[in-house]
Amino acid sequence: MLWNKKNFWFSWLLLIYFLLLFNSCKENLNDQNPPLEKDFSKAPEGFPPIPFPPDNPYSRAKFELGRRLFYDKILVKDSSFKSCSHCLKQAHNFQDNVPNSIGYNKIPEPRNTMSLTNVAYFDKIFWDGRGKRIEQPAYRSLFLPYIFGLDTNELQMRLERHPLYPKLFKAAFGENARPSAWLVAQAISTFVRCLVSGNSPYDKYVRGDTNALTDSQKRGMKLFFSERTKCSVCHSGFLFTDLQFHNTGTTQHYFDFGRYYVTGDFRDRNKFLTPSLRNVEVSAPYLHDGTYKTLEQVIENYNRGGFPTINKDTLIKPLNLTQQEKEDLINFLKSLTDWEFLTNPDFAEPK
Ligand code: HEC
């Protein structure tokens, strides 16, 4: 090819172009701001900040470690199921879809598994409120013979021999950290505190999107918050629970005395923690014993004013709902389903 004037200028232009390109890459590398990464410690609009305890603050590395452990067979003695997620299923609002969950040794839980969704905001956990913070069950589950059935040495050995975990524990807890039961519980608790759901059609409606609810759901919402049904007296606030204990007369004979086992107070017999109603559409079966299979059955019980039983709450009275009103109430409960949360890949098993 002949070297002419046109080629000469063209080469110069090309050179300048590459120099500019190189410089802009360099700038990017030196950028002071790290790339934007997801912050799972942020609460949805209208929710208070997620309360992380000072002795176990949020970090992305801890979240990722906790998430991996939540889904890992390594925590189960015979590795026959995927640890926490075996009974706490994302598609079912991080609870189980059977009345009694079955862990290691195939021993069924005596009560229906409660949801982990929004549990960061609960000041008491379990149907009888005996739990105080998430770290407790996260730690105890490792060793209970009917949950994971491990022992400390076995757990430590398994995690230390793993190709990934020693590095992940260092990333989450510092260079000197070695895998231990306590750190497992801390990491899992961090992941669990981030399981916050607040993007249902109802939430969108509250934030101003008047089209987020159907007409039936709007009618159901009015009923739910009315003096007549009193649903929102117990299912109150952004969590749809007052975090108190009540009896709703779901049966005449209670085999489980609930809160009574914690306080020993006869007035607490047959009382259970008001469950949150968020994502209740996907969390059947219902109640502390999982005896009601459908929302229709639950509404029917409120409509009849419950069965006569010891300590039934004075708020539970016959409602005389029409068929349409029952349907509206159920449709309103379905407006509390946050599909984004239930299908969010960030909370699913890591690849
Ligand atoms: C006196 C307080 C109180 C009132 C009023 C009340 N609830 Fe409940 N609700 C509870 C308690 C406590 C439970 C759990 C009972 C149990 O497990 O035995 C519950 C359970 C439920 C459940 C099942 C949730 C689950 O995950 O198992 C639904 C659905 C429900 N209530 C909806 C309603 C609706 C709708 C109304 C109004 C018609 C209402 N509640 C009124 C306290 C109340």
Q: Is residue 38 part of a domain?
A: no
Distance CA 63, CA 60 (A): 5
- Give the closest residue (by CA) to ligand 1 atom 35: 231
Residues 271-296 have a mean pLDDT of 96
Q: Does one domain contain both 150 and 271? A: no
- Which of the pair, 68 or 2, is modelled with greater confidence? 68
Q: Does one domain contain both 192 and 206? A: no
User: Does ligand 1 come within 6 angstroms of the Cβ of 233?
Assistant: yes
User: Does ligand 1 come within 6 angstroms of the Cβ of 301?
Assistant: no
CA 152, distance to chain mean position in Å, is 27
Cβ atoms within 10 A of the Cβ of 71, count? 18
> Could you identify the atom of ligand 1 that is nearest to the CA of residue 258?
18
Contact 295, 351 (CB under 8 A): no
pLDDT digits (tens, 9 = 90+) for 88-102: 999 999 998 878 888
Q: Which range is least confidently modeled, 123-127, 136-140, 246-250, 287-291?
A: 136-140
Q: Report pLDDT for 277.
A: 98
* Cα angle for residues 136, 137, 140 (degrees, 5° grid): 90
Q: Report pLDDT for 31.
A: 44
Q: Does one domain contain both 88 and 218? A: no
Residues 298-304 have a mean pLDDT of 98
Q: Is residue 55 part of a domain?
A: no
Residues 22-27 have a mean pLDDT of 47
Q: Is residue 150 part of a domain?
A: yes
Q: Does one domain contain both 235 and 181? A: no
What's the chain's Rg over C-alpha atoms? 26
Residues 153-172 have a mean pLDDT of 95
Q: Does one domain contain both 336 and 239? A: yes
Question: What is the whole-number distance in angstroms between the Cα of residue 299 and the centre of ligand 1?
Answer: 9
Q: Does one domain contain both 313 and 238? A: yes
Question: What is the whole-number distance in angstroms between the Cα of residue 136 and the centre of ligand 1?
Answer: 26
Per DSSP (E only), the strands in 174-271 are 245-246
Q: What is the mean pLDDT of the chain?
A: 90
Q: Does one domain contain both 271 and 304? A: yes
The torsion region of residue 50 among left (phi > 0), alpha (psi -120 to 50) and beta comes to beta
Pocket test residue of 248, 278, 328 for ligand 1, highest count of atoms within 8 A of CB: 248
Which whole-number Å values give the CA distances from 131 to 27, 51, 226, in the listed order? 51, 16, 32
pLDDT digits (tens, 9 = 90+) for 105-119: 778 888 888 999 999
Q: How big, in percent rounded to 5, are the helix, strand and coil portions of the chain?
A: 45, 5, 55
* pLDDT band (50, 70, 90) for residue 57: very high
* Helix (H), strand (E) at residue 205: helix 201-206
CATH code, 130: 1.10.760.10
Cβ-Cβ contacts under 8 Å for 296 (sequence gap 6 or more):
326, 330
pTM over 0.75: yes
Distance CA 338, CA 198 (A): 7
Contact 282, 117 (CB under 8 A): no
Domain boundary among 197, 215, 231: 197
Q: Does one domain contain both 73 and 186? A: yes
Q: Is residue 350 part of a domain?
A: no
* pLDDT surpasses 80 at 239: yes
Question: What is the whole-number distance in angstroms between the Cα of residue 246 and the centre of ligand 1?
Answer: 9
Q: Does one domain contain both 209 and 335? A: yes
> Could you identify the atom of ligand 1 that is nearest to the CA of residue 95?
26
Query: Residues of the chain with pLDDT > 70: what percent?
Result: 90
Q: Does one domain contain both 118 and 184? A: yes
Query: Residues of the chain with pLDDT > 90: what percent?
Result: 73
* pLDDT surpasses 60 at 34: no
Cβ-Cβ contacts under 8 Å for 150 (sequence gap 6 or more):
75, 76, 77, 142, 143
Contact 271, 316 (CB under 8 A): no
| Sign of torsion over alpha carbons 83, 84, 85, 88 | positive
User: Does ligand 1 come within 6 angstroms of the Cβ of 329?
Assistant: yes
> Could you identify the atom of ligand 1 that is nearest to the CA of residue 244?
12
Q: Which residues form the domain of 186?
A: 60-197
Q: Is residue 45 part of a domain?
A: no
Contact 310, 254 (CB under 8 A): yes
Burial tier of 23 (Cβ tally within 10 Å: 0-12, 13-18, 19+): exposed
Domain boundary among 144, 178, 197: 197
Q: Is residue 13 part of a domain?
A: no
Q: Does one domain contain both 180 and 217? A: no
Q: Is residue 25 part of a domain?
A: no
Q: Does one domain contain both 301 and 209? A: yes
* pLDDT band (50, 70, 90) for residue 287: very high
* pLDDT surpasses 90 at 8: no
User: Does ligand 1 come within 6 angstroms of the Cβ of 246?
Assistant: yes
Q: Report pLDDT for 25.
A: 44
* pLDDT band (50, 70, 90) for residue 76: confident
Domain boundary among 150, 171, 197: 197
Cβ-Cβ contacts under 8 Å for 30 (sequence gap 6 or more):
none
Q: Report pLDDT for 110.
A: 81
Contact 70, 187 (CB under 8 A): no
Distance CA 232, CA 242 (A): 9
Query: How many structural domains is the chain composed of?
Result: 2
Q: Is residue 145 part of a domain?
A: yes
